[in-house]
Amino acid sequence: MMAKLPKSIVIEGRRYPTWGLSAKARKQLINLSLVDAHIAELQQRLAHHYVAREHYQLLLKDALPDPRRQPTAAETTRYFWQSVSKAWAQKHWPLSTPSLGLDAFESTSHFRQGDRVLCYVKGHGVVGWGVVEVDTHSTKRHVVWRVGVPTLDAALPAKILKEFSLRHPSRSSQALPSTADIEGLLSALATKAA
């Protein structure tokens, strides 16, 4: 289908009647009209994309957490290494009771109710984890074990900790980094303990 040409065109301030144009000039006028139509279509599509972008930006804003909101208990859970000597582990492992008083460890004054403690035995690896609970009658704190390997030889060795973005503890008690794959580590430990 042939594009309909205007009666005249203005180029550089001068008007030309289309009936007086050569076939070559008419062909270029048609090409120019087609390109102008395509540009107009693209501008319309771009306008639609800008509207869609604003819409999605509002939806994103609504989906973000409110900075004034208090974090939930799950978001504030703290995880710690508790490193123990091989001699200590040989005396206490495997665990004979479901809980252990925190006074059995050194430097545990920073632990609070709900903290997760991962027990690391030097020379073996991660042997178990538990939750810090406070005895309401005596206010003594203890670790209630959730997972424990049956023997020290079944521990998760230090060499695989890098798979969970972790390193073995360098102090007797220290917080695990927030960047670590703690859920992955706990899952691997549960598999070893099964």
The letter for the amino acid at 176 is L
Q: What is the pLDDT of residue 108?
A: 62
What pLDDT is attached to residue 161? 93
Mean pLDDT over 97-109 rounds to: 73
In 3D, which of 103, 93, 157, 152 has the Cα closest to residue 125?
Answer: 157
| Pair 78, 116: CB distance under 8 Å | yes
Q: What is the pLDDT of residues 58-99, one digit of tens each?
A: 888 878 877 666 555 445 789 999 898 888 888 877 777 787
Predicted local confidence at residue 35, as pLDDT = 93
**Share above pLDDT 70 across residues of the chain, in percent, rounded to a whole number:** 91
In which band, very low, low, confident or very high, does the pLDDT at 107 lie, cut at 50, 70 and 90? low
pLDDT for the residue 73: 47
pLDDT bucket at 118, cuts 50 / 70 / 90: very high
Residues 178, 148: Cα–Cα separation, whole Å: 23
| pLDDT value of position 91 | 84
Q: What is the mean pLDDT of residues 138-149?
A: 83
Q: Is 178 left (phi over 0), alpha (psi -120 to 50) or beta?
A: alpha
Query: Which tokens belong to 174?
Result: 């220290």
What integer pLDDT is reported at residue 103 of this predicted model?
75
Q: Does the structure show a pLDDT above 60 at 142?
A: yes
**Residues 8-56: pLDDT tens digits?**
888 888 988 988 889 998 898 889 889 989 999 999 999 888 888 888 8
The overall average pLDDT reported for the chain is 84
Answering whether pTM is above 0.85, one says no
Q: Tokens representing 113?
A: 């109710």
